[in-house]
Structure 1
Amino acid sequence: MQRAIDLARPGTVISVRGGTYALTSNLQIARSGTASNPITLAAYGSEKVLIDGEALPNTPAPVGGSIPNAQRGAIHIEASHWRIAGLEIANGPYGIFCRDCSGNVFDRIVTRDNYESGLHIQGASGGNLILDLDSYGNRDPRKNGESADGLAIKEGSGAGNVVRGARLWNNSDDGFDAWEFLSPIRIEDSVAYGNGFNRWDLPDYTGDGNGFKLGGGDEDLPAAHVVTNSIAFRNQVGGFVDNGNPGALRLSRDTAWRNGGTGFDFSDSAATLTRNLAASNAVPAGLGGAAGGGGNSWDLGGTWDDGALISTDPSTLTGPRRPDGGIPRSAFLRPKHGTGVGARL
């Protein structure tokens, strides 16, 4: 596979036959395609391809240790205009690590059980599309669970990154993390659940446990991320949180259900929240004085608990994807009385 990557030029299609590829050194992608002629690395037809990084260095790194840049990821990308599709990446020191990379498409990827974040994008990176990603079970023993997210777009900038149709679950830190990423990210039709629980008996556990963490940093700089038609449920702490980001965040038609802390925590941002639904969280919403919007469940009044919902059974949403890669549709968490609030997945 590395030989094919090294030979690839703009327009090349690399088709990977089904099977398990047990890496002894990680895959390095350094040459870019072009916007009109991307390079494709994809599973052949419907064959199942597993890229297994268990034998790579830093699986896991020692507690308190660091991972050298080049060793981050079973697939390490410092290139642009690639399409990576239909691959499953497991047990790596990160699943896919993408630094200073733009214009890439990650299509129907599975990143699971890695020793850091499943898919991690960092640095000067814009115009990436993450489509129908499943990322789960990722954890980081070296940081006691503090930084392994399902999907991280963090510590960088670059316009036009879009996440669509992602499912991010049972990761040690957060489902989605935009820590110190200073350009707007758009998230659509996605779900994050079960994040932040210590499923690995890691000592001194420090996982944050949010569904969608929309910023934050050692210096909280503004970034106007957008989340629409998405669901956060049964996370250890928050559903959707600004994490100190003071920017003009926008959330519309999202649902937070049964999160251990606050469903919508936007006490530090100039967020606009419109027609969102919070039900059965420890706290429905925490909003600062700069928050705007309206038509949310907490604005409408009444009782918003399990009894107000058509279904609290997530099994369809969490089950096999549709043949086209989409999340299967169901009545999960839709309000009984047709009120126009919350997500429709």
Structure 2
Amino acid sequence: MKIFYSVLSALLVGTAGLFAQTNVYYVDVNGNDGNVGSKEKPFATLNKANAAVNAGDTVWIRGGVYNLRDTIYVKTYNISAGIHLTASGESDDKRIHYLAYPGERPIFDGTNLLVGEGYDHYDGTIESVQYTSPIVVEAKYLHLKGFEVRGVPMKHNSNSGIYILYSKHIFLEQIDSHHNSGPGFFVNDGRANGGGHYFLNCDAHDNYDPYGRQGDGENADGFGVHYQESGDTTKFYGCRAWWNSDDGFDFINQEFPVVVENSYAMGNGYSDYGTQTPPSGNGYGFKMGESKTGKGRHAIKYCVAWKNTASGFYANYTSVGSKWLNNTSYNNGDRSFNMASTTYDSQGRETAPVAVLTGDNVHVLKNNIAYPNKLSRIGGENASGENNTWNLNLDLTESDFLSVDDPSMTITGVDLSMIAGALGPRMADGSLPDVDFLKLTAASRAIDKGEDIGLPFAGNAPDLGAFEYSGIITETHKKVLQPEWNLISTNGMLTIEGKNIENVVITNVNGQIIKTKDVDGTNTSIHFSIEAKGLYFVRVATSTGISVKKVFFQ
């Protein structure tokens, strides 16, 4: 798989913050909020930890199920929360960290939360609160990692698993938000100078709002970012959204750029593990509009959308085009790419049902795969892009791909996160599973057909789609293991020590393969010279499995 870490600093922020920590606290399902918060005498709730922490502190969350019931009134937005995180860090390198304890899995269960029962009008009373979330974040410079949020119910309105409210620079890593009666993640940056959040290797799946006053399945997206007009850019990397009753990624009313990279959207518009299609669910994979002011120009690159009930990639009648670069759309219910756009007046009123975007507002579409080439509002008066399968008259077939088979294509009625495949268990470091699904064969007609757009590639020109051909075929039968080998880096030399090693691949943070070597399985010490300083990823395949480590050359 091609790996692009467009924001390296976001990957290193967590580590930098931990080195600067001042206090460490612990939370345990068997703890007590009357305790001091030590490992031996932990707190029972994150609310208690929130009251104790300061910038630079770390909270280790022990594994187990935290059953949420009582709620806190969040006055700033007239909502309620099972957990309300308000304490802030000071900067990206002095965050407050809420981390799953190593080797353990905390689960915040909202099944028994006392949710708001208001319908559509808030009258100043707790009873009229309309929305409730298990976790509401209203802070700056936090790092959340390694836990699940699930099961929040609803009365009349959709309730998000995690609600980020008027916040800044929240780093969410390996968070799984699922089976909620609303969006998995909802970001509301409707106040000035917020945003700048980073979602790394997060999942949102099986979210469904059946009783919403706006319709059955209308608002349960996987990831939603909304209402921002200024501040910093929010970014997604390595995230997955599937079987959400509405859309996978939805940025409606977002008037500030968002970047989505190396992420997946599958089967959105379905519910109940892919067995039902709620009547009000939209079913788009990546919905990147609407922007009424012309400021919401997003970037979507190296992403994959498949088997959504509607279109894979959708502009949603926006007034400004986005940048759609090296994406793959496969077997979606309506169109592969739908660039439907329009214009608005100064009052935000639509001036035409459909309009052609011109000048700097046009959509940029380059190096994309549509399989099949089923499009809407592309070509003719509309932008057609360059070096996409439709421009090149490439009607790809199964023979162009290593595999078009994945459990998500045929299996329904069960939890896909537990089955090996594109939506199954992640790699040991939290990255996406290494499978052959929709990767190119050596003879694929999509190889070297792209345009150089300033991003890394191998060969004479970029390949089309989300996966640059590397010549490495995934051994899908092998398990993802914890590394059983050692890395030693000294004076520009990298040494890998271990047994039964068959293959080593070293990539930089841009996904470029720097070194690769096949060995006979008997070597116990393998040496590489590394010329440039920086962060590298080392993937080792042994006779029993594959594993990945990161190494930083000073």
Answer whether TM exceeds 0.5 for this pair.
yes
Once the two structures are superposed, the pairs formed by residues 56-95 of structure 1 within 5 Å of their partners are: 56-58=113-115, 71-92=131-152, 93-95=159-161
- 1:106 lines up with 2:181 in the alignment: no
Q: TM-score, with normalisation over the residues of structure 2?
A: 0.58
- Output the amino acid matched with 1:183: F
2:285 corresponds to which of 200, 205, 211: 211
Unaligned runs of 5+ in 2: 1-44, 71-81, 153-158, 342-356, 408-420, 447-462, 469-554
Partner of 2:313: 240
Partner of 2:335: 262
- 1:9 lines up with 2:54 in the alignment: yes
| Aligned equivalents of 2:422, 2:298: Cα separation in 1 | 25
| Aligned equivalents of 2:424, 2:206: Cα separation in 1 | 16
| Aligned equivalents of 2:115, 2:138: Cα separation in 1 | 20
Partner of 2:83: 27
Cα distance change on mapping 1:285 and 1:342 into 2, 3 Å: farther
1:287 is paired with a residue whose SS is coil
Is the 8 Å Cα contact of residues 251 and 289 (structure 2) preserved in structure 1? yes
1:130 is paired with a residue whose SS is strand
Once the two structures are superposed, the pairs formed by residues 163-178 of structure 1 within 5 Å of their partners are: 163-178=236-251
| Aligned equivalents of 1:238, 1:271: Cα separation in 2 | 16
Cα distance change on mapping 1:121 and 1:293 into 2, 3 Å: same
Higher relative contact order (CA 8 A, sep 6+): 1
Cα distance change on mapping 1:83 and 1:97 into 2, 3 Å: same
Partner of 1:275: 367
Cα distance change on mapping 1:326 and 1:198 into 2, 3 Å: closer
Partner of 1:317: 422
**Rg larger for:** 2
Is the 8 Å Cα contact of residues 179 and 216 (structure 1) preserved in structure 2? yes
Cα distance change on mapping 1:302 and 1:344 into 2, 3 Å: closer
Is the 8 Å Cα contact of residues 12 and 40 (structure 1) preserved in structure 2? yes
- Output the amino acid matched with 1:140: D
Identity %: 28
- What is the RMSD of the two structures over their aligned residues, measured on CA atoms? 2.5
Is the 8 Å Cα contact of residues 226 and 251 (structure 2) preserved in structure 1? yes
Partner of 2:438: 333
Deviations 1:261-288 (A, max 9, x none): 111111325110000001037x245316
Unaligned runs of 5+ in 1: none
Cα distance change on mapping 1:149 and 1:204 into 2, 3 Å: closer
Q: TM-score, with normalisation over the residues of structure 1?
A: 0.92
Deviations 1:145-169 (A, max 9, x none): 1111111011223432110000100
Once the two structures are superposed, the pairs formed by residues 34-183 of structure 1 within 5 Å of their partners are: 34-35=90-91, 36-58=93-115, 71-92=131-152, 93-122=159-188, 123-124=190-191, 125-141=194-210, 142=212, 143-157=215-229, 158-183=231-256
Misfit runs of 4+, over 4 Å: 61-71, 200-204, 219-222
Is the 8 Å Cα contact of residues 227 and 251 (structure 1) preserved in structure 2? yes
